[in-house]
């Protein structure tokens, strides 16, 4: 994995959109998905791993489905339920990602309490991770002529986590788009990573190939400029978390003096869905 340290807004743009030109279609189309973290020390551990819940994964999801039945998801597949559970904060093996580098930048710069520390943008080339997939999963992508799974496509090859884990003997990770559960999912341009085991260290897997992943480092000295420009571009909590909670979070941060960063604990809700720094 390569670390790229940027020193200006322009360098950051160049790094994010490098190699996105696709000659075959004469369009700019990035093959990366992004995850922003407010501290460079944040890795890619899932909420199952940071909470020590790996052995309880099946019980957590079973109980969630049982008690959340009145909020039943369309299709009733395990992948829709897993998406809904992750969306509402249940520990899962999923990690939040986004197609949008600017949404990822928001999550790297939203917490004013970390503005004295470097942040980072994880960038993963999903074409490269797809090369690690078992044949059954690669065949589905090929048949559909796509690079990212849907929950319907997943359900066609595995109807449970146990079925999914048994698809291959080697470690792998795939990316899938959740159902459009609400405006938050849609506005954050969100998708999830799904590893082949609850215990799999995603960062370790990605580090096995330099071509698969890169990490763009945002120095602390650049954070205020990025934050202000994102606000002007309307990449804010008001948009990414539609509703009065997101509006309040945006206004509180927007009117915080640069010399007096907020010392209040960050509202946990903005960490749910497209990003969840551990």
Could you read off the pLDDT of 33-53 as tens digits, one per residue?
999 999 999 999 999 999 999
Quick one: average pLDDT of 205-214? 88
CA angle 147, 152, 154 (to 5 degrees): 65
Q: For residue range 79-110, what is the model confidence (pLDDT) as tens digits?
A: 999 999 999 999 999 999 999 999 999 999 99
Burial of 273 (0-12, 13-18, 19+ CB in 10 A): buried
The reported pLDDT for the residue numbered 267 is 45
The reported pLDDT for the residue numbered 261 is 53
Does position 273 have pLDDT exceeding 70, yes or no? Answer: no
DSSP, collapsed to helix, strand or coil, labels residue 207 as coil
- How far is 62 from 54, CA to CA, in rounded Å? 14
- Cβ atoms within 10 Å, residue 7: 12
The reported pLDDT for the residue numbered 130 is 96
Q: For residue range 154-193, what is the model confidence (pLDDT) as tens digits?
A: 999 999 999 999 999 999 999 999 999 899 999 999 999 9
Q: Are 6 and 218 in contact (CB under 8 A)?
A: yes
Largest interatomic CA distance in the chain: 55
Which phi-psi region, left, alpha or beta, contains residue 106 (left: φ > 0; alpha: ψ -120 to 50)? alpha
DSSP, collapsed to helix, strand or coil, labels residue 237 as helix
**CA-based torsion, 101, 99, 194, 126: positive or negative:** negative
Quick one: average pLDDT of 136-146? 96
**CA-based torsion, 241, 247, 249, 255: positive or negative:** positive
Does position 114 have pLDDT exceeding 90, yes or no? Answer: yes
- Cβ atoms within 10 Å, residue 67: 9
Does position 276 have pLDDT exceeding 80, yes or no? Answer: no
Percent of all residues in the chain with a pLDDT value above 90, rounded to a whole number: 85
DSSP 44: -
Does position 71 have pLDDT exceeding 80, yes or no? Answer: no
- How far is 104 from 57, CA to CA, in rounded Å? 27
Please state whether the predicted TM-score (pTM) of the whole model is above 0.85. yes
Residues, the chain: 278
Residue 153 corresponds to which tokens in the numbers above?
A: 């496509």
Q: How far apart are the first and last CA of the chain?
A: 21
Does position 124 have pLDDT exceeding 50, yes or no? Answer: yes
State the average pLDDT for the chain. Answer: 91
The reported pLDDT for the residue numbered 258 is 87
Q: For residue range 230-272, what is the model confidence (pLDDT) as tens digits?
A: 999 999 999 999 999 999 999 999 999 887 655 554 443 334 3
Confidence of residue 278 (pLDDT cuts 50, 70, 90): very low
The reported pLDDT for the residue numbered 265 is 47
Lowest mean pLDDT among 70-84, 97-111, 184-198, 205-219: 70-84
The reported pLDDT for the residue numbered 264 is 54
Going from N- to C-terminal start, the domains of the chain cover: 2-18+31-271
The reported pLDDT for the residue numbered 272 is 38
The reported pLDDT for the residue numbered 262 is 57
- How far is 235 from 104, CA to CA, in rounded Å? 10
């Amino acid at each position: 994995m390569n670390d790229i340290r940027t020193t200006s807004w322009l360098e950051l743009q160049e790094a994010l959109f490098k190699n996105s030109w696709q000659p075959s279609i004469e369009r700019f189309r990035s093959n990366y998905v992004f995850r922003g973290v407010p501290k460079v020390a944040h890795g890619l551990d899932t909420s199952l791993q940071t909470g020590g819940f790996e052995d309880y994964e099946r019980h957590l999801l079973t109980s969630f489905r049982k008690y959340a039945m009145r909020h039943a998801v369309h299709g009733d597949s395990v992948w829709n339920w897993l998406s809904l559970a992750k969306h509402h904060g249940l520990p899962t093996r999923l990690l939040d990602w986004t197609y949008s580098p600017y949404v990822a930048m928001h999550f790297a710069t939203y917490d004013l309490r970390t503005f004295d520390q470097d942040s980072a943008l994880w960038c993963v080339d999903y074409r490269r991770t797809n090369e690690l997939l078992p044949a059954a999963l690669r065949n589905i992508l090929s048949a559909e002529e796509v690079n990212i799974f849907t929950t319907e496509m997943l359900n066609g090859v595995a109807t449970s986590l146990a079925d999914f884990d048994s698809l291959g003997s080697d470690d792998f990770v795939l990316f899938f788009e959740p159902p459009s559960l609400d405006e938050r999912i849609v506005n954050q341009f969100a998708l999830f990573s799904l590893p082949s085991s609850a215990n799999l260290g995603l960062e370790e897997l990605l580090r096995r190939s330099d071509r698969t992943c890169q990490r763009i480092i945002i120095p602390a000295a650049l954070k205020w400029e990025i934050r202000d420009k994102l606000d002007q571009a309307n990449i804010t909590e008001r948009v990414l978390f539609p509703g009065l909670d997101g509006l309040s979070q945006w206004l509180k941060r927007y009117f915080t003096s640069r010399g007096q960063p907020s010392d209040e604990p960050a509202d946990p809700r903005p960490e749910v869905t497209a990003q969840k720094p551990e």
